[in-house]
Structure 1
Amino acid sequence: MHRLTGAASTGQPILFNSQSIRPLNTEISNLTQLVNRSGRSVLAIWSRQSSQQDFAIRPRVFREEEEEEFCSISYSPINLNNPELKFKFKHKKHASIYNHTLTNIVVHYASAVYVSDLTELFTWTCSKCDGVTEGFQMIELVVDVQSCLQAFVGVAKDPYAIIIAFRGTQEHSLQNWIEDLYWKQLDINYPGMDDAMVHHGFYYAYHNTTIRSGILNAVKRAKEYYGDINIIVTGHSMGGAIAAFCGLDLVVNGNAQNVQVITFGQPRIGNAVFATYYHRLLRNTIRVTHGHDIVPHLPPYYYFFPQKTYHHFPTEVWLYSVGLEFLSYDVEKICDKTGEDPTCSRSVTGNSIVDHLVYFGVELMCKEWRSCRIVMERPLLEYGQADDGGNFVFSRDPATPIIRLKTQSDAGGNHH
């Protein structure tokens, strides 16, 4: 049984009980009318403590010590003529490490790193470079053309932190990449961690490319200028896997104490031993999954071979939607500490690419399907260096003013 309570405009709680989350039409109508008349947002709480069979609205006072037993739900009244009344649920247990507002900001950086116009990205003038990310100051942009990787480092205004973002797989190769994930083997030991196995492709994408040196150099310069501020590492899809290795590298080899990792639609990257090591060193990690997103289900997890199979590290936050006749609500479920909570994304079939490409309503993909070619204006070359493989690193001194480069439309520049 589930019980829902909320505060109406009078301050009096309202309560109803549901069986299998399917209340009667008449009672749910009374509830929505009450909410609609209040004209205010409502905070509600689910509880699993009651076996009560009826469905009613009545007072309920919660004791402070009961708070951990509930999941909070916030929703706003919508005109009853609207076919949908949207609820947003957020579980309160383990809320100390999951910050809904922060995660909704960070997802925009995970989206922005997909921008293919390097001039717009480096100067933070792209269509994704405003709103909650306004005021971000780019320090380094790294493009590994050979491996089709892209990442940036900069400092955000709110939250005041160093942001490191890694691009995921390009859409033109996404289907092939997903198919390859089924067969990736645990084939190398993570250095310094006995029996911790990872796949070399995920590991090398960070450690054996231009990406790592560019990222570490930028973090060092940022800390020298801004001080020992927090570091947030993020990425989507393959970018999430690289972000996890980056966060671990900063803690293990960089002795950083204030690192948080937030990934979206990340695949599994190592075995259970690796997941345990990772969680001990980087407890402040949020791994967001969405609906039936196929990628977090890969490479496959075989519960009957727990020590020999891939295994996610915690903490997963599963986003999913539930329809209830003319009601619809979005749930943010904070999962258990195993990393493989059977009641979270593992409880559904991972069969959706659409769910993989949108998180919190934000698209995580390139604007156009294209190969890994460089798109930039000539003035940007003043800030860049290229190696023999054609890989680029664009750097900015944090002490210099925000870069203002003329775009092609302003100066008739050329793309490369």
Structure 2
Amino acid sequence: MSDLTELFTWTCSRCDGLTKGFLGVAKDLNAIVIAFRGTQEHSIQNWIEDLFWKQLDINYPGMSDAMVHHGFYSAYHNTTIRPAIINAVERAKDFYGDLNIMVTGHSMGGAMAAFCGLDLTVNLGIQNVQVMTFGQPRIGNAAFASYYTQLVPNTFRVTNYHDIVPHLPPYYSYFPQKTYHHFPREVWLYHIGLGSLIYEVEKICDGSGEDPSCSRSVTGNSVSDHLVYFGVRMGCNEWTPCRIVMDPRVAEYGKTDLKGNFILSRPPAASILKLRTDSDAAGNHF
């Protein structure tokens, strides 16, 4: 896209309910960023209820005893998303060089981001991959978590206070090898109170993936904690396909129109207008 305003506001012609995410190049990070959209808010309640009953039901290829969640695995591997990502990564690397790759996502998007980061490392041989997820559910068993940790060590799972989703599917301590198990490293956001003041604290958890002093130390019973991370709402106020979450530093340079669309004060694509018209390496959709 030559004008990224519609991309930033999630109002472009392809930014509809079927769009699962986007890939772009962040020059300030010197990285290719792959972002997966989270679960749409009008279906999140049913999705959470469904996760209580999900079982490990597929073997991850090439990993002995590693089992994963079929739905999450298929959402990335068995759709048009994967080939679109691979194509976009190759095009971005051709144009910008060998950049680091950052994969991120919220909720179900976090699960897909994890599978994407693993795929890029194992099947494409890319070593400079970082994964950071927010409110991600468990996606595999302990054997899978162990393999994942070795292959994608630069991974962080951010969890928020009583967020219900990181507690799902349930972890059964009396079946440690058969139950779902998180991979490390978790960063738990929680609140402490000093009088009338409430502070948000970030705790870096241990390397087990299931640190009992982090999110597992509290009851996972909050949908609202799932929808807000670092003070940023990860969804919409209305039951519509989610719009992109704007970084407050970007939001300072724009305004919102009557339809809720974000309008930037300058063309954000000014520095990349030299790109060939058939190239969308800085804003590929999948």
TM over 0.5: yes
- Give the structure 1 partner of residue 185 of structure 2: 315
- Give the structure 2 partner of residue 341 of structure 1: 211
Q: Note closer, same or farther for the CA distance 1:170–1:259 as it changes in structure 2 (3 Å cut).
A: same
Deviation (angstroms), 1:157: 2.0
Q: Distance in 2 between matches of 1:206 and 1:398?
A: 33
- Give the structure 2 partner of residue 206 of structure 1: 76
8 A contact 2:189–2:200 mirrored in 1:
yes
Q: How does 1:13-412 map to 2 (within 5 A)?
A: 123-125=3-5, 148=18, 150-366=20-236, 368-370=238-240, 399-400=275-276
Structure with larger RCO (C-alpha < 8 A, sep 6+): 2
Runs of 4 or more above 2 Å deviation: 126-129, 141-145, 396-403
1:262-285 CA distance string (max 9 Å, x none): 000000000000000000000000
Deviation (angstroms), 1:326: 2.9
1:215-240 CA distance string (max 9 Å, x none): 11000000111111100000000000
SS at match of 1:356: helix
Deviation (angstroms), 1:366: 3.6
Q: Distance in 2 between matches of 1:316 and 1:206?
A: 22
Q: Note closer, same or farther for the CA distance 1:236–1:371 as it changes in structure 2 (3 Å cut).
A: closer
- Give the structure 1 partner of residue 249 of structure 2: none
Q: Distance in 1 between matches of 2:238 and 2:94?
A: 37
Unaligned 5+ runs, structure 1? 1-118, 130-140, 373-395, 404-416
Q: Note closer, same or farther for the CA distance 1:144–1:191 as it changes in structure 2 (3 Å cut).
A: farther
Q: Distance in 1 between matches of 2:112 and 2:274?
A: 25
8 A contact 1:153–1:162 mirrored in 2:
yes
Letter in 2 for 1:164: I
Q: Distance in 2 between matches of 1:398 and 1:307?
A: 54
Aligned residues: 247
Q: Distance in 2 between matches of 1:308 and 1:155?
A: 39
Over aligned residue pairs, what C-alpha RMSD do you find?
2.5
Q: Distance in 1 between matches of 2:160 and 2:116?
A: 23
SS at match of 1:292: coil
8 A contact 1:287–1:317 mirrored in 2:
yes
Q: Distance in 2 between matches of 1:343 and 1:371?
A: 35
1:89-115 CA distance string (max 9 Å, x none): xxxxxxxxxxxxxxxxxxxxxxxxxxx
Q: Distance in 1 between matches of 2:107 and 2:42?
A: 14
- Give the structure 1 partner of residue 251 of structure 2: none
8 A contact 1:235–1:264 mirrored in 2:
yes
Q: Note closer, same or farther for the CA distance 1:156–1:275 as it changes in structure 2 (3 Å cut).
A: same
Q: Distance in 1 between matches of 2:274 and 2:156?
A: 28
SS at match of 1:171: coil
8 A contact 2:160–2:189 mirrored in 1:
yes
Deviation (angstroms), 1:367: 5.5
SS at match of 2:43: helix
Q: Distance in 2 between matches of 1:259 and 1:248?
A: 9
Q: Distance in 2 between matches of 1:230 and 1:398?
A: 23
Deviation (angstroms), 1:371: 6.1
Q: Note closer, same or farther for the CA distance 1:155–1:268 as it changes in structure 2 (3 Å cut).
A: same
Deviation (angstroms), 1:210: 1.1
Letter in 1 for 2:213: T
Q: Note closer, same or farther for the CA distance 1:354–1:223 as it changes in structure 2 (3 Å cut).
A: same
Query: Which of structures 1 and 2 has the bigger CA Rg?
Result: 1
Q: Note closer, same or farther for the CA distance 1:253–1:340 as it changes in structure 2 (3 Å cut).
A: same
Deviation (angstroms), 1:327: 3.2
SS at match of 1:318: strand
1:310-348 CA distance string (max 9 Å, x none): 000000000011112133221100000000000000000
Percent identical: 70
Q: Distance in 2 between matches of 1:199 and 1:207?
A: 12
Q: Note closer, same or farther for the CA distance 1:269–1:363 as it changes in structure 2 (3 Å cut).
A: same
Deviation (angstroms), 1:143: 7.2
TM-score normalised over the length of structure 2: 0.81
- Give the structure 2 partner of residue 92 of structure 1: none
8 A contact 1:231–1:260 mirrored in 2:
yes
Deviation (angstroms), 1:286: 0.5
TM-score normalised over the length of structure 1: 0.56
